[in-house]
Amino acid sequence: MTGWVQDPRRPPETLTSVSSNGPARQSRTSGRGNHRPWRLIGLALLGHMLRSRRFYERVAFAAVVLAALSRLGQENRTKTFARLAAWNKRQIQLLERKAGQEAGRLERGAERQAKRLTGKAKSTLT
């Protein structure tokens, strides 16, 4: 059978042959020249936009908004970093205080142990 069947994986312009006797036929509308009118329309639209005062107003407004958002983001990062640094400082102070308390507790325990040992040593001598 040599009829033409539409391949579901390809666009509708491309047809494939049921028999694999030759290359598939291409539609006449799928060439590079088909994009030329769209390019011309796009260029005309771009030219119109570039001549429009409203376009420049919108661009200026967008630039101001982006600058403001950038500034807000930078300030937010600065404040967040400052809060993190303050938290880190408090944590270090807390750890230093706990380490000092633990050192004092160990020191007092060592003094008590030394007193017990010296007390036992005196009692064994007499």
pLDDT of residue 101: 96
In this prediction, residue 62 has a pLDDT band, given cuts at 50, 70 and 90, of very high
Q: What is the mean pLDDT of residues 78-103?
A: 97
Q: How far is CA 125 from CA 95, 113, 116, 121, in A?
A: 45, 18, 14, 6
Q: Which helix (H) or strand (E) holds 41?
A: helix 36-51
pLDDT single digits (tens) 11-55: 655 555 555 565 656 555 555 667 888 999 999 988 888 888 998
- Rg, C-alpha atoms of the chain: 42
CA-angle at 61, arms to 58 and 67, nearest 5° = 140
pLDDT of residue 116: 87
CA-angle at 63, arms to 58 and 68, nearest 5° = 125
pTM greater than 0.75: no
